[in-house]
Amino acid sequence: MMFYVIGWVAVGACAAIVAGSKGRSPVGWLILGAFFGPLATTAACFMPAVIRKEAPPTPVRRICPHCANEIAPSARLCRWCKRLV
């Protein structure tokens, strides 16, 4: 009986590890793995990975060499002093 319980917990841990590596909740999958055993582990294996959307990179600003104001990185004309940069 004890061996059975340990095996069941190990299977739950496997589900948690697999789910965690795919960006899913390891705790939730540990519980699912404990309830459904190998079924949950198999489901976790075939589950697509969660793709986390990363925040868009903040546009890098540069400084106008003439007036020292911030200008867009692709700007050719300073919006403040109207000089070519």
| Shortest reach from residue 72's CB to Zn ion, in Å | 12
User: Total residues at the site for Zn ion (CB under 5 A)?
Assistant: 6
Q: Binding of Zn ion at residue 40 (CB under 5 A)?
A: no
Q: How far apart are CA 26 and CA 11, in angstroms?
A: 13
Among 6, 66, 72, 77, binds Zn ion (CB under 5 A): 66
* Tokens read off for 38: 């190998």
Task: List 84's β-bridge partners, or say none.
Answer: 77
Among 51, 64, 70, 74, binds Zn ion (CB under 5 A): 64
Q: How far apart are CA 47 and CA 16, in angstroms?
A: 12
Query: Of 5-13, 31-39, 46-54, 60-68, which part binds Zn ion (CB under 5 A)?
Result: 60-68
Please provide residue 49's backbone torsions phi and psi, each rounded to the nearest 5 degrees.
Answer: -70, 145
Site for Zn ion, rule CB under 5 A: 64, 66-67, 78, 80-81
